[in-house]
């Protein structure tokens, strides 16, 4: 079971990291358009649509990745004080009541949007139209990946309720090194613990 959960975590992580390169493409595209518009005097009417679509794809594909890292914002004023079983019970309830219906509806509606757009070969409305249906494909795709990761999180809740501890999850980079920050705070509160054995007057461990 744990191997399966971590496999889905790795899939969400890989997709998140893959589509994160879209930030580079978006930055390059905006910079190139600014240069073309204001330096060369040759603006492109389709570039704004491309930027909006690429930003939308980045936003949607970050959902499963963030969920796999337990990184979505939560109101944890009291949540952090609960025992793991209580946390898991609360999470499981919210997943069943809110998450599953919402994401299933997103995926279903997104698939309908995509198929209808594909059927009419939908394009943007400007002087140089570009197709819209490739972008709309990412709505059900992102919803399906998010739903898969949500099922994994539900399984984690069940395991935690049964065993009393949260199962491990796939790790990835963090914006800050939490362990080092904790050590720094701990050292400030207890400077004697940050000193070496010789500085504390003791011998080597």
Both tokens assigned to 20:
């994160």
Q: List the domain boundaries for the chain.
A: 2-173, 179-205
Average confidence score pLDDT of the chain: 85
88 pLDDT exceeds 90? yes
Q: pTM of the predicted model, to two decimals?
A: 0.78
Q: How far apart are the first and last CA of the chain?
A: 41
Both tokens assigned to 70:
């337990």
Q: What per-residue confidence (pLDDT) applies to 99?
A: 95
* pLDDT band for position 71 (cuts 50, 70, 90): confident
Q: What per-residue confidence (pLDDT) applies to 128?
A: 84
* pLDDT band for position 4 (cuts 50, 70, 90): confident
Q: How many CA atoms lie within 13 A of 7 on its CB side?
A: 4
Q: For residues 54 and 19, is the Cβ–Cβ distance under 8 A?
A: no
* pLDDT band for position 189 (cuts 50, 70, 90): low
Listed in sequence order, the residues at least 6 apart from 109 whose beta carbon sits closer than 8 Å to its beta carbon are 139
Average pLDDT over residues 32-50: 90
């Amino acid at each position: 079971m744990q191997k399966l959960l971590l496999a889905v975590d790795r899939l969400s992580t890989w997709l998140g990291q893959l589509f994160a390169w879209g930030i580079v493409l978006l930055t390059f595209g905006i910079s190139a358009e600014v240069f073309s518009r204001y330096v060369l005097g040759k603006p492109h009417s389709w570039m704004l649509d491309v930027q909006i679509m690429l930003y939308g794809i980045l936003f949607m594909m970050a959902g499963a990745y963030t969920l796999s890292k337990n990184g979505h914002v939560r109101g944890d004023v009291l949540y952090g004080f609960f025992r793991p079983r209580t946390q898991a019970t609360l999470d499981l309830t919210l997943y069943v009541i809110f998450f599953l219906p919402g994401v299933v509806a997103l995926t279903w509606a997104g698939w309908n949007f995509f198929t209808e757009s594909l059927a009419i070969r939908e394009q943007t409305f400007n002087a140089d139209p570009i197709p819209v249906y490739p972008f709309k494909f990412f709505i059900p795709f992102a919803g399906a990946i998010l739903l898969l990761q949500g099922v994994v999180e539900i399984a984690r809740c069940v395991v935690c309720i049964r065993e009393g501890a949260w199962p491990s999850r796939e790790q990835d980079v963090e914006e800050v090194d939490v362990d080092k920050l904790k050590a720094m705070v701990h050292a400030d509160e207890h400077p004697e613990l940050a000193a070496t054995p010789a500085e504390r007057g003791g011998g080597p461990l």
